[in-house]
């Protein structure tokens, strides 16, 4: 069974979908850590339901991003974590973490990359007037939402309705992240 760490900054609905899939055997893995950079993130509450240990670390507690990430790497190594799963983690990953987990960091993004990278991807898509957007799971590299794509799924835009489009996207995210993870873990 593969050992994962999930990183989140906010609600954590993707984290919960993955935790549920690990619990019921849909994904052959266990979540060793939830890593959070925001003490008020709702993801922390979700972790309690699953008895998943949570580590709250804020970059401002460290003198540099490298020092912040070095502490994370140390904690991940202590639990023999092999894969890092970003699920609404609102930071760029730096070299310290990338070098410690080469090609072993995944992210989910709420658009069909390379369209609409960065913040507020759903709003960007709705405002642009595209008729189809979607979800991308990809490997993480130094860039913002630029790494090699693993899986994508299209979602119809509900015309001019950001909230309804977001709801449809989140539903697809929860299914697609599980599939992509199981696919990647199975091949490793």
* Residues near ligand GRF (CB under 6 A): 8, 10-15, 87-88, 108-110, 173
User: Which residue is nearest to ligand GRF, using beta carbons?
Assistant: 88
How far is it, in rounded angstroms, from Cα 37 to Cα 60?
Answer: 10
Residue 146 DSSP symbol: -
Minimal distance in Å, beta carbon 109 to ligand GRF? 5
Choose the catalytic residue: 109, 138, 170, 174. 109
Considering the complex, state which of residue 41 and residue 62 has its C-beta at the smaller distance from ligand GRF: 41
Query: 101 near 139, Cβ under 8 Å?
Result: no
Strand order in the sheet with 132-139: 54-56, 29-36, 2-8, 83-86, 105-109, 132-139, 149-156
Beta bridge partners of 91: none
Dig out the tokens for 7 from the structure.
Answer: 């990183």
Residue 170 annotated to the active site: no
Considering the complex, state which of residue 69 and residue 173 has its C-beta at the smaller distance from ligand GRF: 173
Minimal distance in Å, beta carbon 169 to ligand GRF? 7
Among 2, 104, 6, which Cα is nearest to 52's?
A: 6
Q: Is 11 exposed, middle or buried (0-12, 13-18, 19+ CB in 10 A)?
A: middle
Considering the complex, state which of residue 110 and residue 147 has its C-beta at the smaller distance from ligand GRF: 110
Minimal distance in Å, beta carbon 78 to ligand GRF? 25
Minimal distance in Å, beta carbon 5 to ligand GRF? 15
Considering the complex, state which of residue 78 and residue 163 has its C-beta at the smaller distance from ligand GRF: 163
User: Cα angle at 78 between 74 and 81, to 5 degrees?
Assistant: 95
How far is it, in rounded angstroms, from Cα 35 to Cα 32?
Answer: 10
**Residues tagged active-site:** 109
């Amino acid at each position: 069974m593969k050992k994962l760490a999930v990183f989140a900054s906010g609600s954590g609905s993707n984290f919960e979908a993955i935790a549920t899939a690990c619990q019921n055997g849909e994904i052959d893995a266990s979540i060793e850590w939830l890593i959070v950079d925001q003490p008020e993130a709702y993801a922390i509450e979700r972790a309690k339901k699953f008895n998943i240990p949570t580590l709250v670390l804020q970059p401002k507690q460290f003198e540099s991003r490298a020092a912040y990430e070095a502490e994370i790497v140390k904690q991940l190594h202590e639990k023999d974590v092999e894969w890092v799963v970003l699920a609404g983690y609102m930071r760029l990953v730096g070299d310290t973490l990338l070098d410690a987990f080469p090609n072993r960091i995944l992210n989910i993004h709420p658009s069909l990359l390379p369209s609409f990278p960065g913040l507020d991807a759903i709003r960007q898509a709705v405002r642009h007037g595209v008729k189809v957007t979607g979800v991308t799971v990809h490997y993480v590299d130094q860039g913002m939402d630029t790494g090699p794509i693993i899986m994508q799924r299209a979602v119809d835009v509900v015309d001019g309705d950001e909230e309804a489009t977001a709801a449809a996207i989140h539903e697809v995210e929860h299914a697609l992240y599980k599939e992509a993870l199981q696919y990647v873990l199975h091949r490793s």
